[in-house]
A and B are shown apart, each in its own frame.
Chain A
Amino acid sequence: MDLSTTYLGLRLPHPLMPGASPLVDDLDQVRRLEDAGAAAIVMHSLFEEQITLDQLGTIHSMEIHEGASAEALSYFPDPSDYRLGPDQYLEQLRRIKDAVAVPIVASLNGTTPEGWLAFARLLENAGADALELNVYHVASSPDENAVQVEERLLEVLRTVRRHVRIPLALKLSPFYSALANLAQRLDAEGIDGLVLFNRFYQPEIDIEALEVKPYLHLSDSSELLLRLRWLAILSGRVRASLAVTGGVHSAIDVIKAVMAGANAVQMVSALLQHGPEELQKVRTAVEYWMEQHEYESLAQMQGSMNLQRCPDPTAFERANYMRVLQSWRG
């Protein structure tokens, strides 16, 4: 069965790959992912904000008590060897590149234009085959309008695009008011791929302690539906290749995503739950299903159920309750 696909200009034997996750922290896991046949490996994000906070926090906690006491000129070993920059991430990227042969997609979350640019270059130089720009932004400020939010996103892309040669993907959130239009503009700026969608930590309220805590639960297949809709809407309308992330747990999920238009399918929760080998199982099941249904290749089903090709496009465009209402009326 020909499962081959093209994502970010990379010719891949099949669309399945681990999405950004802590799995890549451990080289053994990375090797297991390759053994399980991952088509590519997406690293977790390098967070500029985290790095800056780490730098400032660590320097502060070490320096604040330096030179204050006659008995202790400092309280920590000589800090000159300790690296507070992105070195760790870059080192891990190099190690992964050395350890496995599959393409490695680095991931970056910047906060400043300088940060986006500087770190993107470092990741490219460290050997990343492609770069996923993880744009994390909660538009909580009433002073910033939707145009400004989108323009900032475009500016990040332009900046990085100008200076980085490797393929670029943009991991989007679903919270844009005109996503199809935005995707088209990103496409025009030369994006190579769009990843749908980022799953954010959600604030959870502890009603006993009266505290808000960030919370991230593992996904399940129900989350796929939102992604299917937008894959279907964007598929065929943008030049950029499309990846799905969030809610893919089974071969059926993969097939649906591909039919909706995904060129690549990222899995995280399922791999965290069942181990890297789950990827192999899902791939085998996809192949089995395709054989059973007499498909010749993945290309044959890619985008088959997108907005342009599916039998009832309105199903993707209409809101659910409308249909229910109509069916009652009907």
Chain B
Amino acid sequence: MSTQFMVTLDGNEAAASAAHRTAEVIAIYPITPSSTMGELADEWSAHGRKNIWGTVPLVVEMQSEAGAAGAIHGALQAGALATTFTASQGLLLMIPNMYKIAGELTAFCMHVSARTLATHALSIFGDHSDVMACRQTGFAMLASGSVQEAHDFACIATAATLRARVPFLHFFDGFRTSHEVAKIALLNDDELRAMIDDDLVAAHRLRALSPDHPVLRGTAQNPDVFFQAREAINPFYSKVPDLVQETMDRFSALTGRGYRLFDYVGHPNAERVIILMGSGAETVHETVAWMLARDERVGVLKVRLYRPFPIDAFVAALPVDTRSIAVLDRTKEPGAIGEPLYLDVVTALRESCDDGKSHFLTEPRVIGGRYGLSSKEFTPAMVKAVYDELAKTQPKRHFTVGIVDDVSHTSIDFDPTLDIEPPEVVRAVFFGLGSDGTVGANKNSIKIIGEETENWGQGYFVYDSKKSGAITISHLRFGPRPIRSAYQIRRANFVACHQFNFLERYDVLEYAAPGAVFLLNSAYGPDDVWENLIRETQQAIIEKQLRFYVIDAYKVAKDTGMGRRINTVMQTCFFAVSGVLPHDEAIAHIKRTIRKTYEKKGDAIVQKNFAAVDQTLAHLFEVTVPTDVTSTRTMPPIVSAQAPDFVQKVTALMLANKGDLLPVSAFPVDGTWQLGTAKWEKRNIALEIPVWDASICIQCNKCALNCPHSAIRAKVYAPDNLSDAPPTFKAMDYKGAEFKGAKYTIQVAPEDCTGCQLCTMVCPAKDKANPKHKAIDMQPQAPLREHEAANFSFFLGLPEVDRSTLHVDVKTSQFLEPLFEYSLACAGCGETPYIKLMTQLFGDRAVVANATGCSSIYGGNLPTTPYTTNRDGRGPAWSNSLFEDNAEFGLGIRLAIDKNLEQARELLLHLAPKLGEAVAANILKAPQETEADITAQRRRIGFLREKLGNLSSLEVRRLSQLAEYLVRKSVWIVGGDGWAYDIGFGGLDHVMAVGRNVNILVLDTEVYSNTGGQQSKATPLGAAAKFASAGKSTPKKDLGMIAMSYGNVYVARIALGAKDLQATRAFLEADSYPGTSIILAYSPCIAHGYDLAYGAEQQKLAVSSGYWPVYRFDPRRIANGMSPLQLDSAAPKTSVSDFARNETRFRMVEQLDAQRFRALMKAEQQEVQSRFAIYEQLAKLVVPKPQVTEES
């Protein structure tokens, strides 16, 4: 056995490390939580890291998981050792190829970080619903339960598939294992080489398709032979279990880490046994050890090889005394007798019994339970509850654990206070802000402790779904023995709160064990912090007898040039007060890590970090804790008392991080949620907010137009509304002719603003005497908060503009109420202003089909949604189907609306004699072009409903149901470039070809933003992205040109920050166009790497350089003898590199290789000029007018 090389890494890296070194071809597509595996594989190959045969694996990013599976299938058929990484919906897209790969007996191992499948809702978190959907494909399935196992089983499965010729799906729990950082023994190349039999590799290669020894595969077979041929495969499956066990034994001999097909842990004469697979088995293992120490006869059977299911090995692994078994499934199969593992266990036991092979003293009773869906916590308390259930004379046959099911009463009770963690384990919990570097620092600390000491370490990180102001909770454990606790810490010895205001929003000290250390980042010092705490915090500190430390981390960070990155400061504090390592040793390790991380980035950053470390200790103070609670302030309510009942009872708990406590009855049964909930979460994340100076405002409304969060708004209203205005409410006379005599106000929503500064950056109104002062300036939020909140509340109460009289243009569009507000998008997001504008223009009659991605996350990730309704209760109806099918989903919505409209019209005609011919005709012939038309039509429908109320028949009832469709609906198909250019392109293309009246809005960030910056076909030439780390060498796909090629599709390319007038017109034209419209909207993104306050400035450079030419292609123009293409951009007048150098995505290419950067920029400049020349010529084309014939 060789010496163990210990490293600290997460489950994804652990699996990918073995996979990359044993593969030749890797095809991937990013999907959470597996993306990291593909990214690492690409990164390692880009760095020239070789596999065990001394060659660098070839990594390709495909357009979808279906594409990746197809490419893998081909690579395997052509004799390569191939692998892929995926999860969830991605795995589903691979299923067709999985059948093929298995049917052709192909040696192949894929690695899956198991994730929930989207049902009533999407979830990025972990359970087994995806892998369970593959159990019928013919793949062998091997389950890992820990980071070490994810590494080891990746190797074992790869070795075993070569022996068995049956492909393997190796899986581990998404997030719980894929994202857990742990100390593991890393397999070296020699060990991997010893595991992979080169003769079997050669045999795999011999089966390759080759013209030098050609064969035919993938035939079509008929009823005469298909069945028999399908059965010919059976002997291969029969051999798999033995081959896997042999492979495990070989692995054990090499490494000392032994595994069985079913690993039993527990009392040799256990009566109660839990059977499960995945990370939950580790928690059960830990609980069993605790219960054994308390003389309980319990055990756990960890399922490793789930398919093919070896009955004999399974039964043999169970103690003969077993009397009752609980099978736990981390998936749900509605309508089935039980979940899959349960059914397999029951069947296995029955068959074993029938065949006389059962060795049990009495045949055990089997019950089945569901646990841990979507990474729901699975704790020792829950495990104990299951064992307790098994001890009952009549346990629940089918149960759930971990939730309160007060509807179907499936759940079993558990004691949430049960804590079995051994005292020698140091447990630390850190509350951080997404942007403050807490997670990175903690990963660093685990590495330091794991790799520099004998201790074992574990880190798990909980993120919320917000893209701005996100909170992270880090759970770190350190101890002398390997850590099996696959659940979050509940009782910590150390609690750090990196943001003072978290104490007023979350029960931070709930995590603190009695006598724990509490470290708080506070602008208040040791002498005045106490009086600034709320009562709940003071009480917890006193009652739990916490040792309380404060540090003004922001001050130290600022003074040492670290800006708002407090990671280094807080990490130093952790080591200083937690005592996990001797102080000087810890500081030396921190500094070594800093040097290692940043030395290539230059000395300045290293020195600033060093300075931060050095200055920290001088600013860290222990607080003398008073004996009494003195504060008069208590934790403010999570939502306002004005919030609706559901928001008070459900949403507020979710916002307070207590969603786990909500019972089943609290939830909608079908995933349907009410709109308008984002407004109840007052996040107060902006340090500075815009302040309006009416005296210099020119009333252009650009601030409101560009605000990504609808947090600064414009209103025009009659002066008499001001009579009860709050004292600081500002108003001025409206300057335009259209609302003569009206008042005008720009108002900020102080508690919803993210402080992105876009409004002040786009504000063109400067004080002539002091031009640094604009009509919109940023000022500290805290002193403004209270009265501006009152002002905003008053502002919202002011009457909305009358849509029916409004001439809509770029300026007046901002008087329309946004029906998308306070989204959780990144501060300065370039996408959301487009969505907001769409809801202002058409939201009261829009249905939105939203592709999965950033826009579905900030649009529909609970607890709240930014989509909202107007005073009439109308607003955008929104749904997300999948990532890949959004265009088709939207088309389906259109088809339904069209059919409903058609039926309504038919019924109206049919009922016209009863309703009055004029009533029907007026409705049927009414124009619906303008807001006035729409208002008039709504009035007519209201009148129609009144009339229908006086009648009764089947037709009348049907028309009553369908009458709303007589008002024109606007269908919006919204998604990012990953969807439109890549995974959804086939569907998008088809929808454009169908030509129905749908509006497609492509929010083009030129990269997969939501999954972390992987290149898409929208990524421009010259930009670095994941999978294009040296800079993309091919040009961006011209989706607009493809759309134009249909001839009957309205196409617009827009950039709101550069050409807002053109962008607004494009939206209006797209909606009015009676066929398919597509808008390609340039969207600045954090993945571009610059301060998004400059988003509009960058858009201007993008347009002026020709990087992003704006145009509108309107087929209606042909009828007027014009070219359908109208180029709204002037010829490029600045260079692309002037634009590109402002963004890290381009600049990093220059930093990697300046020559290459120049060459790519030259190519991009050429590309820009050629493209512009083509557009210019197209814009001059004269297209023959459509022929007017007698028939037409």
A residues near B (Cβ < 8 Å) are 25-27, 51-52, 54-85, 88, 91-92, 118, 210-211
Q: Distance (Å) between the CB of B109 and the closest chain A CB?
A: 24
Given contacts A69-B434, A70-B175, A71-B124, whether A63 and B440 have CB atoms under 8 Å apart is yes
Determine the chain A residues whose CB is within 8 A of the CB of B601 once the complex forms: 55, 58-59, 79, 82-85
Determine the chain A residues whose CB is within 8 A of the CB of B461 once the complex forms: 67
Whether A67 pairs with B1144 at a CB distance below 8 angstroms is no
Residue of B nearest to A76 (CB): B1013
B467, B605, B1087: which contacts A59 (Cβ < 8 A)?
Answer: B605
Determine the chain B residues whose CB is within 8 A of the CB of A52 once the complex forms: 602, 604
New A-B contacts (18) at CB < 8 Å, excluding given A56-B604, A68-B439 = A26-B1158, A27-B1155, A51-B604, A55-B601, A55-B605, A61-B1089, A66-B439, A68-B435, A68-B463, A69-B434, A69-B463, A75-B1013, A76-B1013, A76-B1024, A76-B1148, A77-B43, A77-B1026, A81-B1029
Asked if B465 is an interface residue, CB under 8 A from chain A, the answer is yes
Determine the chain B residues whose CB is within 8 A of the CB of A91 once the complex forms: 1154
Q: How many angstroms between the C-alpha atoms of A78 and B1154 in the bound complex?
A: 18
Determine the chain B residues whose CB is within 8 A of the CB of A66 once the complex forms: 437, 439-440
Given contacts A69-B463, A77-B43, A82-B1151, whether A55 and B440 have CB atoms under 8 Å apart is no
Given contacts A55-B601, A76-B1024, A77-B1025, whether A68 and B1151 have CB atoms under 8 Å apart is no
Whether B434 pairs with A67 at a CB distance below 8 angstroms is yes
Whether A71 pairs with B1010 at a CB distance below 8 angstroms is yes
Q: How many angstroms between the C-alpha atoms of A64 and B600 in the bound complex?
A: 19
Determine the chain B residues whose CB is within 8 A of the CB of A56 once the complex forms: 561, 604-605, 608
Determine the chain B residues whose CB is within 8 A of the CB of A77 once the complex forms: 43, 46, 1013, 1024-1026, 1028-1029, 1148
Asked if B89 is an interface residue, CB under 8 A from chain A, the answer is no
B440, B565, B1013, B1025: which contacts A72 (Cβ < 8 A)?
Answer: B1013
Whether A55 pairs with B602 at a CB distance below 8 angstroms is yes
Interface centre among B1029, B1086, B1150 (most CB of A within 10 A): B1086
Q: How many angstroms between the C-alpha atoms of A308 and B1076 in the bound complex?
A: 83
Interface centre among B467, B603, B1144 (most CB of A within 10 A): B1144
Determine the chain B residues whose CB is within 8 A of the CB of A76 once the complex forms: 1013, 1024-1026, 1087, 1089, 1144-1145, 1148
Determine the chain B residues whose CB is within 8 A of the CB of A72 once the complex forms: 35, 1009-1013
Q: How many angstroms between the C-alpha atoms of A265 and B1145 in the bound complex?
A: 40
A59, A67, A71, A85: which contacts B1011 (Cβ < 8 A)?
Answer: A71
Whether B1089 pairs with A58 at a CB distance below 8 angstroms is yes
Q: How many angstroms between the C-alpha atoms of A80 and B1152 in the bound complex?
A: 10
Whether A70 pairs with B32 at a CB distance below 8 angstroms is yes
Whether B1148 pairs with A82 at a CB distance below 8 angstroms is yes
Q: Distance (Å) between the CB of A208 and the closest chain B CB?
A: 10
Interface centre among A54, A68, A73 (most CB of B within 10 A): A68
Q: How many angstroms between the C-alpha atoms of A52 and B598 in the bound complex?
A: 13
B33, B470, B602: which contacts A68 (Cβ < 8 A)?
Answer: B470
Q: How many angstroms between the C-alpha atoms of A239 and B1011 in the bound complex?
A: 64
Interface size class, chain B: 35 or more
Q: Distance (Å) between the CB of B535 and the closest chain A CB?
A: 31
Q: Which of B442-473 contact A (CB under 8 A)?
A: 443, 461, 463, 465, 467, 470, 472
Given contacts A72-B1012, A72-B1013, A210-B766, whether A67 and B439 have CB atoms under 8 Å apart is yes
Given contacts A55-B605, A78-B43, whether A70 and B1013 have CB atoms under 8 Å apart is no
Q: Which of B271-310 contact A (CB under 8 A)?
A: none
Determine the chain B residues whose CB is within 8 A of the CB of A27 once the complex forms: 1155
Whether B463 pairs with A82 at a CB distance below 8 angstroms is no
Residue of B nearest to A114 (CB): B603
Asked if B392 is an interface residue, CB under 8 A from chain A, the answer is no
Residue of A nearest to B770 (CB): A210
In the complex, 9 of the A-B residue pairs with CB atoms within 8 angstroms, ordered by the A residue number, are A51-B604, A65-B434, A68-B435, A69-B470, A70-B175, A70-B463, A71-B1012, A75-B1013, A92-B1154
Q: How many angstroms between the C-alpha atoms of A85 and B440 in the bound complex?
A: 23
Q: Distance (Å) between the CB of A115 and the closest chain B CB?
A: 9
Asked if B47 is an interface residue, CB under 8 A from chain A, the answer is yes
Whether B1152 pairs with A82 at a CB distance below 8 angstroms is yes
Asked if B768 is an interface residue, CB under 8 A from chain A, the answer is yes
Q: Interface 1/0s, chain B 1111-1131, versus A by CB < 8 A?
A: 000000000000000000000
Residue of A nearest to B443 (CB): A67
Q: How many angstroms between the C-alpha atoms of A64 and B434 in the bound complex?
A: 8
Q: Distance (Å) between the CB of B1174 and the closest chain A CB?
A: 28
Asked if B892 is an interface residue, CB under 8 A from chain A, the answer is no
Q: Distance (Å) between the CB of A110 and the closest chain B CB?
A: 13
Whether B1148 pairs with A79 at a CB distance below 8 angstroms is yes
Asked if B36 is an interface residue, CB under 8 A from chain A, the answer is yes
Q: Which of B536-579 contact A (CB under 8 A)?
A: 561, 563, 565
Q: Distance (Å) between the CB of B1160 and the closest chain A CB?
A: 14
Q: Distance (Å) between the CB of B375 and the closest chain A CB?
A: 10
B125, B602, B1091: which contacts A85 (Cβ < 8 A)?
Answer: B602
Asked if B73 is an interface residue, CB under 8 A from chain A, the answer is no
Q: How many angstroms between the C-alpha atoms of A66 and B125 in the bound complex?
A: 19
Q: How many angstroms between the C-alpha atoms of A85 and B1152 in the bound complex?
A: 11
Asked if B438 is an interface residue, CB under 8 A from chain A, the answer is yes
Q: Which of B1052-1111 contact A (CB under 8 A)?
A: 1086-1087, 1089-1091
Asked if B771 is an interface residue, CB under 8 A from chain A, the answer is yes
Determine the chain A residues whose CB is within 8 A of the CB of B183 once the complex forms: none
Q: Which of B423-437 contact A (CB under 8 A)?
A: 434-435, 437
Q: Distance (Å) between the CB of A21 and the closest chain B CB?
A: 16
Whether A61 pairs with B124 at a CB distance below 8 angstroms is no
Q: How many angstroms between the C-alpha atoms of A70 and B1024 in the bound complex?
A: 22
Whether A60 pairs with B563 at a CB distance below 8 angstroms is yes
Whether B1151 pairs with A83 at a CB distance below 8 angstroms is yes
Determine the chain B residues whose CB is within 8 A of the CB of A79 once the complex forms: 601, 1148
Residue of B nearest to A27 (CB): B1155
Asked if B1147 is an interface residue, CB under 8 A from chain A, the answer is yes
Given contacts A68-B463, A68-B470, A85-B602, whether A58 and B1158 have CB atoms under 8 Å apart is no
Residue of A nearest to B768 (CB): A210
Q: How many angstroms between the C-alpha atoms of A183 and B464 in the bound complex?
A: 63
Q: How many angstroms between the C-alpha atoms of A73 and B463 in the bound complex?
A: 10
Q: Distance (Å) between the CB of A185 and the closest chain B CB?
A: 31
Whether A64 pairs with B43 at a CB distance below 8 angstroms is no
